[in-house]
Each structure stands twice: as structure tokens, then as C-alpha cells.
Chains A and B, each alone.
Chain A
Amino acid sequence: MIAIVALIKIIVVVLVVLGTVAYLVLLERKVSAYMQDRIGPNRVGPKGLFQPFADILKLVLKELIVPENANGFIHALAPVISITVAISALAVIPFGNYIVIGGQKINLMIANVNIGVLYILAMSSLGVYGITLSGWASNSKYSLLGGLRSSAQMISYELSLGLSIIGVLMIDRTLQLDKIVTAQGSGLWNIVYQPIGFLVFITAAFAETNRLPFDLPEAEPELVGGYHTEYSGMRWGLFFLSEYTSMIVSSALIVTLYFGGWSLPFVDYSAMSPNIAAVLQIITFLVKTGIFIFIYMWIRWTLPRFRYDQLMNVGWKIMLPLAILNLVGTGAVLLAVK
């Protein structure tokens, strides 16, 4: 029974996320167009709404090109690693409290792991393998440079990412994501207690997902696409998919850690019937996540890319000290309050 429920949850979540990704691509193209005084895709279907299908069809039909002397196996494996890691991070994110079906209480998250935060950190750092391996296996200088940059970038930003989360963990005293949400639901959102931690976290999250201004691993003007220069067709599509999936994951994570997840302040869910409450919670969660996805795109079309040395400077000389300061400050305040 539990296995079946889990399976259904997995299928629903994965389908919803992949469908959303298709439309996020369209949204991104629209947002970028509007920010540049253009209109963007509007030919396929009403207002261009069927554009994603055309895109996917194109990707599927395209020829898969493997460069000469490339390591064929790893070349094929790398995008799979990327997408697997990106999707599996979704498993521990709570998108609602629980629903009741036939007297059964079903949690609205796929796996209620008691070390959810650690699990996500582990998964997101595995993501670098996909990129680095693809760079190495392509047998091309641009890809290799992209892959190397990506690993250096991940190392420098993973530290601040982890450290900035610790502030939240100290306040809520748990690693379980749904408990973090319930803790915020009864009080103030963590953003109020952790503004600096939040800034560090969101910056590091941008770097983790390789989005502008930190998209040095792909850096089109210098590296011709970076790690996925030598990819085409659906293998390239998988990289694309994993970029957008990890964007969803990190937006959801930001919402969960700092903006109360599915909870709203001053709303008492216990007064409602659990299923109605669950629908409300899911909507709240989706709206909040959507806002952060939009911010991702907004930033991408606002800021220029960092230079490599600037990236390292920001990572080691600004973000890391800030994260540590935040940690020490939080600890001191918590001690004083006690």
C-alpha cells in the first residue's frame, strides 16, 4: 500500500515537473522577449502556447552527434546523471501538509527523510558530475574548459550554500523539511531571522544551478556553449531539462527554507477539512515557487555574466565570510535569547 502510494506520488510529481519545464522554457523565452521590447514566440497555436511541443519534436527528431574520439559511454551517461540528480532532489520537498483518502493520511511529499536538507545538498553536489563528465567525455577543448569551470565553481559555492542553510537549521532545530515548514507556519518566516543567510543562499543557489550571472560553465560567447557544446538532439535536451528542473528544485527549496513553504502566516489550517487545506497549501506552494522561478529569469535577463576571477572573489572573499558571520551571529543571538 505504502509502495503504491509512493509510486503514484512519484509519477504525479515527475509528470507535473516535466510538463512545467516545457512551459517554463516558453515562459523564459517570453520573459526575455518582453524585457527586450520584443514579443517572443507567438506562431505555434494560440499566442504561441504550443511552442513547447514543437521544440520537443525538433529535439527528438534531431540527429545525435557523438564527436570523433569521444568516450561514447560517458558521453551518453553524463546527461542522464544530470537529469537523474535534478529530479531526485524533488523527492524530499513538501508541497503540502497531508491529504486524507479513505481514512488514510497521506503526506504530500514523496519521501519524508529525516535528513532532507542533507539529502538535497548531496544530490545537488552530485549534479556537478554530469557537467564535468560531459566536458571530459566530449574530447573538445571548450567542453573541457566548461566542465572544469563548473567543478571549480561548485566547490566554491557549495561551501557557502551549506553554511548559509545552517542558520535555518539552528533556528528550527531539524533537518526535516516538513518540520521546517511547520515551524515557520506557527511563527514568522525564516527570512525575517535570516536575511543575510537568505542572500548568501540565493546567490549560491544561482551558482549551483548554473544560471546567469553564474553560467560560466556554458558561457556562450567564450566557450561556445561550454560543457554541452558537443551535444545535440535529446542528449542536449536532457541537459536543458535538468537545468530547468534544478531551477524548480532550488526555487522550491528557497520557499521551503525561508518563505514558509506551503504555509501562509495567520492562516489556521486545522480549522479546515484536511483536503481543502491541502489544496490551498499546494496552491500557496506553487505560487511561491513560481515567483522565485520568475525571479530566476528576471535576474538572468538583467545581469551580465561574472568574469571568472570575479566569480572566485565573490565566492571565497565575500560569500564565505558572510556565511560564517551569519552563522556566528545566529549562534550568539540564540544563546542570548536562551
Chain B
Amino acid sequence: MSNNGNGKIKPEMTFWERLYFPEILHGMSITMKALFRPKFTRQYPEERWVPPPVFRGRPVLVVEDETGVERCVACGLCARVCPSLAIQVQAAETELDKERYPVLFEINMLRCIFCGFCEEVCPEEAIIMSKEFELTFADPKDAVFGKDRLLTPRSKLEDRLEFLKQYR
């Protein structure tokens, strides 16, 4: 294509291109080659994808392996920052060093948009985006994840924690 000065775009095609049939054959040769190229389909339920650490799956709460205590101090920052108001935290006092802990911590997975703001704002690195992305529910009530489903041992989240250390 070229602009010939009067504002009109004039296609420049060679004689062979204008005959059209040779170009059809050319196109057909391309699709024929594609028939034998390797395929990209992943056979999903059998062949699963393991996401890299950059991936933001559902947010989970980190539990120290040694003590079995969650890191969260129930400051409520994540609940404040969450753009979709998915998080609910209720604080209570504890004898431990951290003094406060969440008695109730709920994330509504129907609201969560996987933005990762909660992870970013948390002062304790207590809420982390995991690699889990297969979330389906038959009942909206099942979609509200309480502490039972949020608490995850630190050892399972090492590579995301490592990633956060490096890039943030």
C-alpha cells in the first residue's frame, strides 16, 4: 500500500496477485503446512498446568510450619483495600507475641477479582496469592471461604514468597 499524494490509498499489487488464483494456491499451501504443525491443545483434566510464581490464584493465609500459627495480625488493611469488598476480618486478642489474631477471616470468592491488592498491602506478608485457580461452586454459600479453607502452611507457598522478596 502507498499513499499517492491525493489522500487516496492505492494498493500496489503485482499482476500475479491481481490474478487472485495464484494467491489462493499460496494461501492453501500455508494451511496445508499448518495441518502437520505440532498442536498446542492441552488435554485439560488429564494434563494440568502448573502456574509460575507470578501467577495470582486465590488468596490464602500463611501459617508458620513450626508453630502452626497464622501470620495475620487482623489489622484489617486487606479488608480496607480490597476493591471488591470481598474480605471480612474480625480481630481478637491472644496471649502470643503478636497480641492480635483474626477470629473470623472470610473471603468471598464470588467477589474476589484476583487483583492481589490484599497481598500487596499486608504488613505481615500474611495473605498471599496461591496457584489455585480452579474454583467452581454449586451454591453461592460454598464460595465464602472461611479460615478452614484459607489457612495454608508456608512450605506450600515458598516460591510465591520468594518471588515477592525478589520483585517487590
Contact = CB atoms under 8 A, between A and B. Distances in A.
Partners in one complex: yes
Interface of A: 31, 34-39, 199, 298-299, 301-303
Contacts of A35: 31, 34-35
Contact of B30 (A31, A39, A299, A302): A302
Interface of B: 21, 24, 27-28, 30-32, 34-35, 37-41
Contacts of B40: 37-38
A143 B8 CA distance: 36
Given A34-B39, A38-B41, A199-B21, A299 B34 contact: no
A295 to B, nearest CB: 8
Contacts of B27: 302-303
A144 B30 CA distance: 36
A298 B32 contact: yes
A241 B27 CA distance: 28
Contact of A39 (B21, B28, B32, B41): B41
B30 A37 contact: no
A213 to B, nearest CB: 9
The 4 A-B pairs of least Cβ separation, nearest first, read A39-B41, A302-B31, A302-B27, A35-B31
A38 B5 CA distance: 45
Contacts of B21: 199
B33 to A, nearest CB: 9
20 contacts: A34-B34, A34-B35, A34-B39, A35-B34, A35-B35, A37-B34, A37-B37, A37-B39, A37-B40, A38-B40, A38-B41, A199-B21, A298-B28, A298-B32, A299-B24, A301-B31, A302-B27, A302-B31, A303-B24, A303-B27
A29 to B, nearest CB: 13
B11 to A, nearest CB: 13
Contact of A38 (B24, B30, B32, B39): B39
Contacts of A299: 24, 28
A39 B43 CA distance: 10
Nearest to B33: A35
Nearest to B36: A34
A39 B44 CA distance: 12
B34 A39 contact: no
A36 to B, nearest CB: 7
Given A35-B34, A199-B21, A302 B28 contact: yes
A39 B46 CA distance: 15
A303 B39 CA distance: 21
Residue from A31, A37, A38 with most neighbouring chain B CB atoms (10 Å)? A37
A107 B40 CA distance: 49
Contacts of B32: 298
Contacts of A34: 34-35, 39
A35 B30 CA distance: 9
A145 to B, nearest CB: 26
Contacts of A302: 24, 27-28, 30-31
A89 to B, nearest CB: 26
A299 B29 CA distance: 10
A34 B35 CA distance: 5
B98 to A, nearest CB: 51
Contacts of B39: 34, 37-39
Nearest to B21: A199
Contacts of B24: 299, 302-303
A38 B28 CA distance: 18
A17 B60 CA distance: 58
B16 to A, nearest CB: 15
A133 B145 CA distance: 56
Nearest to B25: A302
Nearest to A314: B20
Contacts of A298: 28, 31-32
A298 B25 CA distance: 11
